[in-house]
Chains A and B, each alone.
Chain A
């Protein structure tokens, strides 16, 4: 384990130097991109019904073949938006996990674990419950964007507070971060609880459904509302990569290396809050993608964020699509909330990683 695998040649035919994992990073990214394409196709062709993509394609090229309106709807209005949303949210969750871990210099920082999702949830619940009354003007002003925006604000406030509490002179205390995260999560949960208590029956139904975490509500309208926010946040990620690498040495050292640390932190926090907020707004709390995916990738390609961030986006998207395929088919024609699937697979997997890596490297 002492020596990092030495890749003999690259496509340039030049010897690669020891300890350089960039070629491996590129290879893994290309592979994951391919995997995502396959997983998407698999997702598109899998479901509770027998609607066939092949028939749909045949019908659009040949006059003889026909496809029922039902199958057309299943593919265009159910599976396709779900896949698009699954890719967006899987990528958003994994990348925001990776960015947050880089920012806090700790692999345990996860939007779900440290209360950011809970904060975003509080924002979303506020709109669901108070959208018709106290927050009516907000809904009137922002329309379909009110829900993701409110979730974004909740996530942003939590992340800022967490950073303020857990970071002293550029050093983050792991214990303080986790404890502060738990406290902030509990606080957001308490306010959410008050709102839930105030909710009427209809709102309660919305809340229950939303709280379980699911892509079942995927519609093109929701993608239109949350998609742009997530895409913007994801586009910011590549600009953070080098800075996050330097931040691994500490804030002071990053600053000495020429990284504008304050701007980096601000951008990272806003990007994480935006990605998590928009995701939580449309799909509720989906756990473990943000912590398992970056961790797994660090084990294979190392912690260099230039490769880690895009690879996380691709793997996060693939894993969420697979989890969704399971949730759509395992109890068909009914459906299991996807949050249950990711937690059921993610939690034991994470424990296994912790056990396996115990004592080997500083987590």
Chain B
């Protein structure tokens, strides 16, 4: 980290001489905000979206709303000179209008694997004009993620994992393929118990029983609606799964596990520990 800091001061000097350095940045997308902080560039950040909840200091920034329902004037009102958005921010009309106000908008693509995280860091580094620091951060994160991947590769018998996004009113909304949850399960060396559909959909009780997960991941939405193990045992279909029988239900924090940012390596290792015990990663 000290290396990053010292490099940073050099970078700041060089930026000060450059006319194009943007000093009023809005980050839209939780992982992008995290990356900006990890790069030590938080001084340049003036606003965030409602999915940017980490680190805690970020919460002090003005919130421009949910990344998929942006208000163009709201975003422009903080007077940004650069907007970093994650792929999928919208609505498209809002983004188009923001662009027409000659504010540069950098859209960062997202994919839920190691390459995806590195590409994000790279893109943010380029947008902020600090490619070298970004490369350093990327190297650290890469090592982290590779370690997780290597650990995962050594697993012979993969645990079947069911990721539950919400259990509102007893309806189980579970992750299929192509989601951040699916990516995280694979990074941690698990196997998604649901591969019949893409995205998050409601599961029937029979599908839950058939999926027969060894481990259930419950998303902690950080609030009053936090699911509890009583919810789980009261759900007939879930309660007969091996996961529930063996008490292997893990509460995970959405931002941390699904964010695919600098903390993803750590999250993957933690999850692998939950799945296989410390033996794998040690």
State the main secondary structure of chain B at its contact with A: loop
Contact check, A333 vs B47: say whether CB atoms are below 8 A apart. yes
**Cα-based distance from A70 to B103 in the complex (angstroms):** 8
**Cα-based distance from A331 to B102 in the complex (angstroms):** 25
B91 at the interface (CB under 8 A from A): yes
A304 at the interface (CB under 8 A from B): no
Contact check, B103 vs A216: say whether CB atoms are below 8 A apart. no
Which A residues, 12 to 69, have Cβ-Cβ distances below 8 Å to chain B?
47-51, 69
**Cα-based distance from A34 to B96 in the complex (angstroms):** 34
B203 at the interface (CB under 8 A from A): no
Contact check, A70 vs B65: say whether CB atoms are below 8 A apart. no
* Contact of B94 (CB < 8 Å), options: A49, A204, A216: A216
Chain B, Cβ-Cβ closest to A48: B77
A73 at the interface (CB under 8 A from B): yes
A133 at the interface (CB under 8 A from B): no
CB neighbours of A69 from chain B (8 A): 101-102
Given contacts A48-B74, A333-B77, A333-B78, contact A200 B199 (CB under 8 A): yes
CB neighbours of A209 from chain B (8 A): 68-69, 90-91
Which A residues, 207 to 257, have Cβ-Cβ distances below 8 Å to chain B?
208-209, 212, 214, 216-219, 222
**How many residue pairs between the two chains, A and B, have CB atoms under 8 Å in the bound complex?**
106
What is the 8 Å Cβ interface bit string for chain B, positions 53-88, against chain A (1 contact, 0 not)? 000000000111110111111111111000000001
CB neighbours of A48 from chain B (8 A): 71, 73-74, 76-77
Given contacts A200-B199, A216-B71, contact A73 B101 (CB under 8 A): yes
Contact check, A50 vs B77: say whether CB atoms are below 8 A apart. yes
Contact check, A78 vs B73: say whether CB atoms are below 8 A apart. yes
CB distance from B280 to the nearest CB of A (A): 32
CB neighbours of B97 from chain A (8 A): 73, 77-78, 219
Chain B: interface residue count, which band? 20 to 34
Contact check, B101 vs A333: say whether CB atoms are below 8 A apart. no
Chain A: interface residue count, which band? 35 or more
* Contact of A208 (CB < 8 Å), options: B64, B68, B74: B68
* Contact of A334 (CB < 8 Å), options: B74, B93, B201: B74
* Contact of B76 (CB < 8 Å), options: A49, A206, A212: A49
CB neighbours of A217 from chain B (8 A): 91, 93-94
Contact check, B199 vs A334: say whether CB atoms are below 8 A apart. no
Given contacts A78-B97, A216-B91, contact A49 B71 (CB under 8 A): no
Chain B, Cβ-Cβ closest to A334: B65
CB distance from A310 to the nearest CB of B (A): 31
B18 at the interface (CB under 8 A from A): no
B239 at the interface (CB under 8 A from A): no
**Cα-based distance from A206 to B62 in the complex (angstroms):** 25
Given contacts A79-B73, A200-B198, contact A219 B91 (CB under 8 A): no
Given contacts A73-B100, A77-B101, A202-B88, contact A335 B93 (CB under 8 A): no
A201 at the interface (CB under 8 A from B): yes
CB neighbours of B88 from chain A (8 A): 201-202, 205
Chain A, Cβ-Cβ closest to B80: A70
Contact check, B76 vs A70: say whether CB atoms are below 8 A apart. yes
CB distance from A255 to the nearest CB of B (A): 47
Given contacts A69-B102, A200-B199, A216-B69, contact A334 B76 (CB under 8 A): no
B281 at the interface (CB under 8 A from A): no
Contact check, A49 vs B65: say whether CB atoms are below 8 A apart. no
Given contacts A69-B102, A219-B97, contact A328 B68 (CB under 8 A): no
CB distance from A68 to the nearest CB of B (A): 9
* Contact of A333 (CB < 8 Å), options: B65, B69, B90, B91: B65
Contact check, A74 vs B90: say whether CB atoms are below 8 A apart. no
Chain B, Cβ-Cβ closest to A81: B97
Contact check, A333 vs B64: say whether CB atoms are below 8 A apart. yes
**Cα-based distance from A338 to B77 in the complex (angstroms):** 19
A144 at the interface (CB under 8 A from B): no
**Cα-based distance from A335 to B70 in the complex (angstroms):** 7
B50 at the interface (CB under 8 A from A): yes
Question: In the complex, which of the residues B68, B71, B76 has the most CB atoms of chain A within 10 Å of its own CB atom?
Answer: B71
A183 at the interface (CB under 8 A from B): no
* Contact of A332 (CB < 8 Å), options: B77, B103, B199: B77
CB distance from A343 to the nearest CB of B (A): 17
Contact check, A205 vs B73: say whether CB atoms are below 8 A apart. no
Given contacts A69-B101, A331-B65, A333-B47, contact A49 B73 (CB under 8 A): yes
CB neighbours of A77 from chain B (8 A): 97, 100-101
Contact check, A70 vs B91: say whether CB atoms are below 8 A apart. no
18 A–B contacts, CB within 8 A, in A order:
A49-B73, A51-B73, A69-B102, A73-B100, A77-B97, A78-B72, A201-B88, A205-B88, A206-B90, A209-B68, A219-B96, A219-B97, A328-B71, A333-B78, A334-B64, A335-B65, A335-B69, A335-B70
A-side interface residues toward B, CB under 8 Å? 47-51, 69-70, 72-74, 77-79, 197, 200-202, 204-206, 208-209, 212, 214, 216-219, 222, 328, 331-335, 337
The 9 closest A-B pairs by CB, nearest first: A334-B65, A49-B77, A333-B74, A335-B71, A73-B101, A48-B77, A48-B74, A217-B93, A333-B64
Given contacts A69-B102, A78-B72, A216-B93, 16 further A-B pairs with CB under 8 A are A49-B74, A50-B77, A70-B101, A78-B73, A201-B88, A204-B199, A205-B91, A212-B69, A216-B71, A219-B93, A331-B65, A333-B47, A333-B65, A333-B78, A334-B50, A334-B63
